[in-house]
Structures are given as structure tokens and as C-alpha cells.
């Protein structure tokens, strides 16, 4: 299937090309009007029947959102395309969270089927919650998790059921005033996952959620909070694909991870947004003494992605790793990167970022490594490689290193390359077509990332990359 754009093709034709571009008829219990007002924020809170502290939190965040400027850095021209007055900020698709798969409404179930969450997977994974629109409609936590005392539910439920944990951790990693999009999320957030793993508990199976946007012009503002208490271990996986849209849509999530002493959290995400979506996400983690946090972050699609998963290494011996890949096709800008802040001694971090730009797409690596005074023995290794497929595509690398401790080790490697003619020639001399050879080389370039994924994601990602490459040659 060709994905290269021909100016003579109508936008509708393009939309039909998109693999996940199916679109169910909209059928909602409640959909807020366009634009954001104080009344809409209050309405969201009252519809969710939230306690006063959360309502006040939202209203304060709404004021911050109004007062904060748009970012003055990055792709400001594209950011200016966002029309906040033309978005819906809350859509509720059913009036209650479904407990059993059988009770999930047929049209929603159909959407999940087409996304390919197979029945076997539900049995295989220890917990599946699939977010459809703004609220989690299906949620199933296996008994094994309950027995271990692991809390895994949607954030709306957590606000009511676990107020003590929420008030202790919520918005301490990403305060509402952090940036304009964090303020917006704090004001109108809906859905997202909450996980709490008690001390010493290791969750053997990855926990998983599937996100999807359906309503036209709808912003999706999920909020995720994961806490691994002392010595606990958890792996969370989130995957995103979006159906077609005719106008721009905004996705602005906030994800907070807290790894207490000796704990370990891995957060894997693959996002494949349709090319008109703005994906502006704030992700940040805290790692206390001897804790480990790993972000595994894959970005495909979207009009503009701005995403810089961050890790604050707060305690001695904490370790952070950020693995990310980005693919920018026609009309897309993947502005992605990583931030690691070494606050304590003997902390270590590894950042590996690989990006491919094709068909006029643009990738930017924007990263920060900061080593605080006194973080003696801190070690960091940053590597970013960019592959540019054609003359129209481009790539920028903007690493920042702030080193305030001399007794630390900082390594940085970066490369920008074109696809090698000799590699292509070699592969084609072995009987591969140019398309297959190119796809193979690009998949090899992303191999470091794919091998960290669970099997089904790895298969899908390889397929997506190949599809993207089919339009790249000839």
C-alpha cells in the first residue's frame, strides 16, 4: 500500500488509506460543547461525583491553563495550529464502567476487536483495561493481583476508593503548573490507569491498557499514576492507535511514576496516532534509593509529537533507562527525547534514541542530562542516531548537558546517516526488492527497541515500519 502523498489525491482518499482508520458511529451518553470554560470543568467534576479536593484542584489548574503561555520553543508554528476553542474536552461513552467483557456494548467491542485485542490475550495478561474515549469502559483485574494486594484500576475509581494514596502522590511529580498542557490535563483529565504495588511485591505479568480516540475533535486527557512501593516491581504497557479524523485533535496525557526505595518500574508505550493529531504529553518519574525506572517509548504518526520522558534519580544508586524510537512520515514532526536528572551520588542512566524521517517528515531529538553538585560517581550514557530516508526529510539533534559535579562520567554519542547505498546493493544482490531491503534495514535500525517489546507489539511494530517504508522508494 502506498502511503506517499500525491497532491491530486483527495484528503478523503488519504484517510481511507490509513490502516486503523475505521470509525464507528458516535454514540455517547454525554459530550461537552466545544471550548473550555469554568462551567465545563465544574461539570466534569460533578458528573464524576468527585470529592471537593479534586474539584478545587481542577479549578485551580484551569486558572493556570488560562494564565500560562504556549511554549516559546520547539515547533511553535505547528503548536499555533491548535484551536483550543474548537475542541471537546469531555466525552462519556457509557454511563458506567463495565465489569465483565460480556456487558461491554457491541459497537465498542467491535472497535476493540478491530484493534486486535484477542480473547486469548485477555486470559494471558493479568489485567486488561481498555480506554475508549474518556473513560475506562472495560476493566478486569485478575484475582491473582487482588491476592497480592496490587491496586489496578482507572484513575476515576482510584480518586474515590484510595483517597489517601492519591493525596499523598497525585501531582507531586508533575504539578499542574509545570507547563500549559499539564495544566490543561489537570483541569479536564479523565480516565487513565492507577497502579499501586505494595512493598516487596513483584507483579509477574505486564499490566496493560489500550487507548483509543474516536470522537472527532475530541481531546483525550488521560492521567496515569503508578507507584511501586519499597522493593516492588511492575511492568506496565500502553498501546495507542487512533482512527481517522477530518480535523485536528489533541492528545495531552500526564503520566507520573514513583519508584520507592529498591523498587522497579518499566513503562512501555507504543503510540501510532493518525497524522492530524497533536500528541503533547508530560511523562516524569521519580526513582528513590536503589530504584530503577525504565521508559520504553515508541512514537509513530501524529501531526506533532512533543514528548520527553523524564527520570529524577533522587536516591543513591538509583538507575534510569530511556529507550525511544520515532518515525516521522509526510507532514509529521516527531519532537521526542529524554531527560535524566542525577540528584544523588552513584546514580546511573542510559538514554538511547533512534529516529527515522521519511517522505518529508522531521524528527528532533531534544534531551537533557543534568548532574547536581554532590552527585559523585554519577554515570550517564546518551546515544541518539537519526536516519534520513530522502532529500525532503530532516532531523535535528538538540542535546543539553548541565554538569555541576566534576566527579561524574558523561558520555554522548550522536550520528546522522542516510540509508547506505552499499547496504541496499548488498541486500538486493541477494534477491530482495528495493522495498523489502529498505524495510529490512530500517527494522534493523530499530532492532534495539523492538527486542525490548512483548511479542505481539514487536510483530505489529515491524509491520507498521514496513508499511511506512513501502511508500519510500520507487
Partner 1 sequence: MARQKVAKRSEIAPGTTLRVVVDDCEILLCDVDGELHAIEDVCTHDGGPLDQGELEGRCVVCPRHGATFDVCTGEALTLPAVVPLMTFAVSVEGDDVYVDA
Give residues in contact with partner 1 (CB under 8 A): 64, 171-179, 182, 284, 286, 312, 314, 341, 343, 372
Min dist CB 365 to partner 1, Å, is 21
Q: How far is the CB of 12 from partner 1 (least distance, A)?
A: 43
Instruction: Tell me which DSSP letter residue 390 carries.
Output: S
CB of 259 to partner 1, least distance (A): 14
What is each CA distance from 166 to 163, 171, 175, 436, in whole angstroms?
5, 9, 13, 50
Nearer to partner 1, 331 or 377 (CB): 377
CB of 231 to partner 1, least distance (A): 23
Q: Can you spell out the DSSP letters for 104-152?
A: S-HHHHHHHHHHT--HHHHHHSSEEEEEETTEEEEEEE-HHHHHHT-EE
For residues 334 and 281, is the Cβ–Cβ distance under 8 A?
A: no
Beta bridge partners of 306: 280, 335
Integer Cα distance of 282 and 193 in angstroms:
15
CB of 185 to partner 1, least distance (A): 12
Which among 308, 257, 253 is positioned nearest to 278, based on CA atoms? 253
- Please report, for residues 155, 276, 442, the alpha-carbon distance to residue 96 in angstroms, rounded to integers and kept in the order given: 14, 30, 44
In the complex, least distance from residue 341 CB atom to partner 1, rounded to whole angstroms: 7
Nearer CB in complex with partner 1: 134/408: 408
Closer residue to partner 1 in complex, CB, 179/269: 179
Cell numbers 520515532 correspond to what residue? 326
The residue (of 267 and 312) whose beta carbon lies closer to partner 1 is: 312
Round to whole Å and give the CA distance between 164 and 245. 40
Nearer to partner 1, 326 or 378 (CB): 378
Assess contact for 273 and 244: CB atoms under 8 A. no
Give the nearer residue to partner 1 in terms of CB position, either 173 or 253.
173
Amino acid at each position: 500500500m502506498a502511503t506517499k502523498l500525491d497532491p491530486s489525491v483527495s484528503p478523503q482518499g488519504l484517510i481511507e488509506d490509513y490502516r486503523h482508520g475505521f470509525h464507528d458511529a458516535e454514540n455517547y451518553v454525554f459530550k461537552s460543547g466545544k471550548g473550555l470554560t469554568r462551567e465545563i470543568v465544574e461539570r466534569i467534576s460533578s458528573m464524576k461525583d468527585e470529592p471537593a479536593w479534586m474539584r478545587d484542584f481542577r479549578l485551580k489548574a484551569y486558572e493556570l491553563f488560562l494564565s500560562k503561555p504556549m511554549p516559546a520553543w520547539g515547533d511553535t508554528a505547528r503548536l499555533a495550529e491548535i484551536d483550543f476553542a474548537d475542541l471537546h474536552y469531555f466525552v462519556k461513552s457509557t454511563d458506567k464502567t463495565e465489569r465483565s467483557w460480556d456487558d461491554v456494548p457491541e459497537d465498542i467491542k467491535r472497535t476493540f476487536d478491530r484493534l486486535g485485542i484477542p480473547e486469548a490475550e485477555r486470559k494471558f495478561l493479568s489485567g486488561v483495561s481498555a480506554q475508549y474515549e474518556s473513560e475506562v469502559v472495560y476493566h478486569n483485574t485478575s484475582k491473582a493481583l487482588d491476592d497480592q494486594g496490587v491496586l489496578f484500576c482507572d484513575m476515576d475509581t482510584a480518586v474515590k476508593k484510595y483517597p489517601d494514596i492519591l493525596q499523598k502522590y497525585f501531582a507531586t511529580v508533575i504539578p499542574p503548573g509545570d507547563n500549559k498542557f499539564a495544566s490543561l490535563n489537570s483541569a479536564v483529565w479523565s480516565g487513565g490507569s492507577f497502579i499501586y504495588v505494595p512493598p516487596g511485591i513483584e507483579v509477574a505479568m505486564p499490566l496493560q491498557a489500550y487507548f483509543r480516540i474516536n470522537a472527532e475533535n475530541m481531546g483525550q486527557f488521560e492521567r496515569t499514576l503508578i507507584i511501586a512501593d519499597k522493593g516492588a516491581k511492575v511492568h506496565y504497557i500502553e498501546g495507542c492507535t487512533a482512527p481517522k479524523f477530518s480535523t485536528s485533535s489533541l492528545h495531552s496525557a500526564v503520566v507520573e511514576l514513583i519508584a520507592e526505595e529498591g523498587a522497579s518500574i518499566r513503562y512501555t508505550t507504543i503510540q501510532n496516532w493518525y497524522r492530524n493529531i497533536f500528541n503533547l504529553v508530560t511523562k516524569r518519574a521519580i526513582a528513590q534509593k536503589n530504584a530503577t525506572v525504565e521508559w520504553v517509548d515508541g512514537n509513530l504518526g501524529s501531526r506533532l509529537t512533543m514528548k520527553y520522558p523524564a527520570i529524577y534519580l533522587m536516591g543513591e544508586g538509583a538507575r534510569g533507562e530511556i529507550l525511544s524510537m520515532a518515525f516521522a512520515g509526510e507532514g509529521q514532526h516527531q519532537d521526542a527525547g529524554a531527560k535524566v536528572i542525577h540528584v544523588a551520588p552513584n546514580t546511573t542512566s542510559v538514554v538511547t534514541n533512534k529516529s527515522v524521517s521519511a517522505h518529508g517528515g522531521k524528527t528532533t531529538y531534544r534531551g537533557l542530562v543534568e548532574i547536581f553538585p554532590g552527585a559523585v560517581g554519577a554515570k550517564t550514557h546518551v546515544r541518539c542516531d537519526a536516519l534520513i530516508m530522502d532529500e525532503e526529510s530532516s532531523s535535528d539533534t538538540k542535546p543539553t548537558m548541565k554538569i555541576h559535579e566534576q566527579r561524574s562520567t558523561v558520555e554522548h554519542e550522536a550520528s546522522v546517516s542516510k540509508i547506505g547505498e552499499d547496504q541496499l546493493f548488498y541486500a538486493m544482490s541477494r534477491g530482495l526488492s528495493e522495498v523489502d531491503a529498505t524495510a529490512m534495514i530500517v527494522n534493523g535500525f530499530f532492532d534495539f527497541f523492538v527486542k525490548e517489546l512483548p511479542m505481539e507489539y514487536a510483530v505489529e511494530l515491524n509491520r507498521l515500519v514496513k508499511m511506512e517504508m513501502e511508500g519510500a522508494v520507487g
